[in-house]
């Protein structure tokens, strides 16, 4: 989606951090943006930022919990009422959830996957019919993480959700291409945001049986104590996302530092295949496991830059 000027973006988690950075980059390209966020104070802070920049009329804020499917439909209708049809959907809202697997309870898995994975699914199920209906195409950015590619220790819930978001994005990439809808799996490394503070968003119903509350509090204090971390700014991150949208990148990586780790993972996978001849008939019968055009297209596009 190369032409962004005058178009509309819907950004979840848009009140803070990376979502806010994406919204800033969108507004700088002449887009109108709806910020959807569960925290009113984040929305208020973001709105006042745009107002002080003289960009307030380009932004509309909606309080939304992405796990609430009914509210999501209302938010979509409110968005179209405010700015008209949308072309860019950024499923970005997220939380930090961490702790050793042995301490994770069902309540932890339900909260974590509910926001980090189902929140993305809800966004696509809400918006896709509306984007298909206007027929002009568009782009979907799903915020995953480096943690979806290289697992972070003691983060089984987070890693699982983010890997699933990458798989979902890869699957939709070919399915939606005929409708002129691009899909990107966005995999940032460390970005300076408020995510370390997200345990306070945990709903009461997921607190009672949680095994992670003590761990989360220790982690929150540890993260708050880090002074001047060398993490990326939200502005730079947002610019990288929009560049990826305009180029229709399948993967949007932000941190060069982690490339070798990904290569190592891929090499580990390749090294683990049985060292034996290919069964040609089986390979021919199952072409979708033999090759996926999205990978060759991505390699071609990267080599052409």
Ligand X SMILES: NC(=O)c1ccc[n+]([C@@H]2O[C@H](COP(=O)([O-])OP(=O)(O)OC[C@H]3O[C@@H](n4cnc5c(N)ncnc54)[C@H](O)[C@@H]3O)[C@@H](O)[C@H]2O)c1
Catalytic residues: 158
Contact 161, 185 (CB under 8 A): no
Interaction of residue 12 with ligand X, rule CB under 6 A: yes
Which of residues 201, 213, 262, 294 is near ligand X by CB under 6 A? Answer: 201
150 binds ligand X (CB under 6 A): no
Q: Helix crossing, 156-176 with 106-113: angle to 10°?
A: 30
From candidates 145, 159, 160, 184, binder to ligand X by CB under 6 A: 145
For 76, the enclosing helix (H) or strand (E) is helix 69-83
Stretch that binds ligand X, among 26-34, 59-67, 220-228, 259-267 (CB under 6 A): 59-67
- Is residue 31 within 8 A of residue 88, CB to CB? The reply is yes
Give burial (CB, 10 Å; 0-12/13-18/19+) of 116. Answer: buried
CA angle, 261 then 263 then 267, to 5°: 115
Count of beta carbons in the 10 Å neighbourhood of residue 201 = 15
The separation between CA 140 and the C-alpha centre of its own chain, rounded to angstroms, equals 9
66 binds ligand X (CB under 6 A): yes
Q: Which of residues 213-232 bind ligand X (CB under 6 A)?
A: none
Q: Are 184 and 244 in contact (CB under 8 A)?
A: yes
Question: To the nearest whole angstrom, how small is the minimum distance from the Cβ of residue 21 to ligand X?
Answer: 8
Strand pairing of 138-143 and 32-37? unpaired
210 lies in the site for ligand X, by CB under 6 A? no
Yes or no: say if 166 and 160 are a contact pair by the CB < 8 Å rule.
Answer: no
Is residue 95 close enough to count as binding ligand X by CB under 6 A?
yes
Our finding on whether 190 is near ligand X (CB under 6 A) is yes
By CB under 6 A, name the one of 8, 13, 25, 61 that touches ligand X: 13
Q: At what angle do helices 293-303 and 156-176 cross, to 10 degrees?
A: 90
The set of residues, in sequence order, having a beta carbon less than 8 Å from that of 5 and lying 6+ positions away, is 29, 30, 31
Considering the complex, state which of residue 95 and residue 181 has its C-beta at the smaller distance from ligand X.
Answer: 95
- Tell me the closest approach of the beta carbon of residue 248 to ligand X, in angstroms: 21
Contact status: 156 vs ligand X (CB under 6 A): no
Q: Does 160 bind ligand X (CB under 6 A)?
A: no
Q: Interface with ligand X by CB under 6 A: which range of 100-108, 132-140, 186-194, 264-272?
A: 186-194
User: Taking CB under 6 A as the rule, does residue 195 contact ligand X?
Assistant: yes
Nearer to ligand X, 82 or 194 (CB): 194
Q: Taking contact as CB under 6 A, which single stretch among the options 16-24, 177-185, 219-227, 279-287 is the one that binds ligand X?
A: 16-24
User: How many amino acids of this chain bind ligand X (CB under 6 A)?
Assistant: 31
List the structure tokens of 245: 């949208």
211 binds ligand X (CB under 6 A): no
Q: Which of 64, 166, 168, 212 binds ligand X (CB under 6 A)?
A: 64
| Helices H / strands E in the chain, number of each | 12, 7
Q: Where do contacts with ligand X occur on this chain (CB under 6 A)?
A: 12-13, 15-19, 37-39, 42, 64-67, 92-95, 115, 119, 143, 145, 188, 190-191, 193-195, 198, 201
């Amino acid at each position: 989606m190369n032409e962004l000027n005058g178009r509309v973006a819907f950004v979840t988690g848009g009140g803070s951090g990376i979502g806010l950075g994406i919204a800033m980059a969108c507004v700088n390209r002449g887009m109108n943006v709806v910020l959807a966020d569960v925290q009113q104070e984040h929305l208020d802070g973001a709105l006042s930022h745009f107002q002080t920049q003289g960009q307030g009329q380009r932004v509309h804020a909606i309080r939304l919990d992405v796990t609430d499917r009914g509210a999501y439909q209302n938010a979509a209708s409110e968005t179209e009422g405010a700015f008209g049809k949308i072309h860019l959907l950024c499923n970005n809202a997220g939380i930090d959830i961490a702790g050793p697997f042995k301490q994770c309870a069902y309540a932890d898995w339900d909260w974590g996957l509910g926001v980090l994975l189902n929140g993305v699914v809800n966004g696509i199920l809400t918006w896709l019919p509306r984007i298909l209906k206007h027929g002009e195409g568009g782009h979907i950015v799903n915020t995953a993480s480096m943690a979806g590619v290289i697992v972070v220790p003691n983060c089984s819930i987070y890693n699982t959700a983010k890997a699933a978001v990458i798989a979902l994005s890869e699957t939709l990439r070919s399915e939606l291409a005929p409708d002129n809808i691009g899909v990107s799996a966005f995999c940032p490394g460390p970005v300076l945001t408020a995510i370390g503070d997200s345990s306070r968003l945990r709903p009461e119903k997921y607190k009672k049986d949680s095994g992670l509350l003590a761990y989360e509090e220790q982690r929150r204090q540890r993260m708050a104590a880090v002074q001047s971390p060398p993490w990326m700014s939200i502005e730079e991150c947002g610019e990288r996302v929009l560049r990826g949208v305009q180029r229709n990148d399948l993967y949007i990586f932000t941190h060069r530092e982690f490339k070798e780790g990904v290569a190592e993972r891929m090499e580990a996978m390749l090294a683990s295949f049985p060292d034996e001849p290919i069964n040609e008939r089986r390979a021919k019968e199952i072409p979708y496991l033999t090759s996926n055009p999205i990978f060759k297209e991505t390699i071609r596009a990267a080599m052409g830059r």
